[in-house]
Structure formats: structure tokens, C-alpha cells
Structure 1
């Protein structure tokens, strides 16, 4: 099993955390992709992943799986260990819901701000920018942080009492926010405490 990724990028980080949670990091070969050099946009890479983004999972039979949620779902079901995507229909639905809220409202919103309203990855890679849209998504990220803080007032983790892919996505989103200089408001004490707790997990703390 191979994972094509760029270490330190938000979505690859989600996959790496999921693997670590399952105790399976040493069962995967990581293949670095030179995103800053545009390797992800080459025909050779797009033959593996037409989305032209990292990460991309390659199975032993040659199957390629892209889209971070699909990759983490495969990892969760392929390897033994506590479920990250839920065991009952209700758990799976709740985790999926919160994961998408964290992804769309936080991680992707910060990404849109970064790629559209800042220099992003530089003019060679940022071939189209709309600053107005980027700044709007920065506001969305702030609103999502406030929402997650409210959820965490009554829950240990984002989808209930157990750590899940929703927490992984939100954690990666906040790390991206740090990089993009989108601050967590000081008033969001629940979100800040949750982040400190998640940071201490072996899968993240190392």
C-alpha cells in the first residue's frame, strides 16, 4: 500500500493521523510528491489521481483512491483498532455530519482564504485568485470555530464521547488556520481546551 502525499500539508496530515490512530503507519509506504514544483499537475500523477491533489492511496492491485474522506474510510475499515468512522448507523451518520462540517466550514474555508486572499503557494501555482471570495471564506472559518466551540461545550469530542475522523479534520483545519494566520478567538475556550487534549494524543504528539 502506497500513499502519495506531501508531508506537512493539511489533508495528508489527516491521513497520517488516521494511520497512527490505527497503529498502521509502518504498514504503508509514503511516496513524496513535489507540490511546490508542480508534480501533482503532471500527466503521470493525474493518471493516478485526476483531482491533481494529494493525498492519493495506491493499493497492491493498482487501485487508486483519492479524496481524503475516502482514504480515511478505507484505512479505518482495513486496519484493526478503535473505529474512527463509527460502528452503528447513528454513530456513522453523526461522525460523517460533523466531519463534513469541519471540512467544509473550517479546513476548506481556510484553504480558500489562503489560496485566494493571500499569496498562497505563489504565482506559479495560484493561477486564479478571487480575494473577495477568499475573505468571505475566512469569515466562514471563524463562524465554524464558534460553532465547534458550542458543540464542545456538551461533548468530549466533536461527534460525541469518542475520538473520530471529525476531530482529525478539525485539528488539521486549525493547524492550517495557524499557517494562514487565521486566529482562534480567545473567547472559544472549549475549542482551545479540546485542541490541547487532541494535541496530546500519541498519533499527533509523536
Structure 2
């Protein structure tokens, strides 16, 4: 299978961590997409993924799967190793809930701030911006960090005792926050400690 992405960007990072957690990095071909030149918006790419986003997974039979959560679901199901999405209905529901909270409240909120209230990726790619919306989403990201910190006061990971896609999404969101200069408040010690622990995992630290 092929994964079309750009190394170092936050959403591709989510998929790369998931693949590494499953011990499958050598079973996947990563195909670089020149996002900065707009390759992801080309007709050829949009034929495979009309979302015009990376990452995108292409299977050997030509099936194309976009959206990080869908890609992670497939990766978790097709490769051996500890589950990242849950092994029973309750686990799957809790992980899905926390993953969406991390995605909407942190990853996407930081993204909205970056793309709307900063120069973002530059005028060629940032074709429409609303600074008011971006700055409001920065507030959302801060509130979500505080919420995640409260969850981690009683849990080793965001959805309980096991590392999951929710942790991957939140970690990538914080990496994006660093890039966008949205800092974790000093008083959020649980979130800071969790981040250091996750960063030390072999799938991330190498």
C-alpha cells in the first residue's frame, strides 16, 4: 500500500505514528506530495482524493482512503499489534470520543488559528483568511489543553490505560501548536508530563 503525504506536517504525522505503532513502517510505501507547490490541489491528485488533502492511503487494488481517522482505522485493522482503536464496543466508543475531542478542539483549532490568523503557508496557499475566526479557535485550543490536562489527572492515557489514536491525535496537535507558537500553559503539568512520555515512545522517538 502507498501513503501519500508530506513528512513533518501534523496530519501525516498522525498516520506515520500509527503505522510505526503497528510495526508496519517497512510494509508501506510513503509517496511525497509537494504541498507547498500545490500538488495536492492538482486534478491528478484530486482524482484520487477530492478532499485535496494529505495524508491519503492507496491500496493495491486502487482503493483510495482519505481522512486520518479512516486511515488509522484501516491500519489498525489490517496490521498485527496492540489495538489503537479499541477491542470492544466500550473501548472503541471512548477512544473515538476522545480522538474527536483532540481532533476538533486541538488539532483543527490550532490549524484554524495557523491558517487564518497567521501568514500560514503563504499567500499562494492561504487564499482566504478570517483572523477573527482564527483567534477564536486559538482560545478553543487553549481550553482543550486544559480539558485534556484534567483527563490526564486520573488516566495514564487520554482514553484510559492504553495508548490509542486519541493520544496520537493530541500529540500531533501539540506538535502543530509548537509550530504555530501556541504554548501549553505552565500550570498544565499533567499534559506536559504525558507529552514527554508519549514523545519517548519508539514510534515517535525512533
SS at match of 2:18: helix
Matching of residues 26-65 of structure 1 within 5 Å? 26-65=26-65
SS at match of 2:3: strand
Q: What's 1:189 paired with? A: 189
- Considering only aligned residues, what root-mean-square deviation do their CA atoms show, in Å? 0.2
In 1, Cα distance between equivalents of 2:72 and 2:7: 16
Q: Deviations over 1:25-78 (max 9, x none)?
A: 000000000000000000000001000010000000000000000000000000
SS at match of 2:133: helix
In 1, Cα distance between equivalents of 2:96 and 2:148: 15
Q: What's 2:178 paired with? A: 178
Equivalent residues, number: 206
1:194 is displaced (CA, Å) by 0.2
Q: What's 1:143 paired with? A: 143
**Residue ranges of structure 2 left out of the alignment (5+ in a row):** none
SS at match of 1:147: helix
Task: Verify: 1:101 aligned to 2:101, yes or no.
Answer: yes
**Residue ranges of structure 1 left out of the alignment (5+ in a row):** none
In 2, Cα distance between equivalents of 1:13 and 1:111: 14
Q: Deviations over 1:141-188 (max 9, x none)?
A: 000000000000000000000000000000000000000000000000
SS at match of 1:36: helix
Q: What's 1:157 paired with? A: 157
In 2, Cα distance between equivalents of 1:111 and 1:48: 24
Task: Give every structure 1 segment of 4 or more consecutive aligned residues whose post-TM-superposition deviation is greater than 3 Å.
Answer: none
Q: What's 1:113 paired with? A: 113
In 2, Cα distance between equivalents of 1:143 and 1:67: 25
SS at match of 1:122: coil
In 2, Cα distance between equivalents of 1:115 and 1:199: 25
Q: What's 1:169 paired with? A: 169
With normalisation by structure 1, the TM-score equals 1.00
In 1, Cα distance between equivalents of 2:154 and 2:55: 33
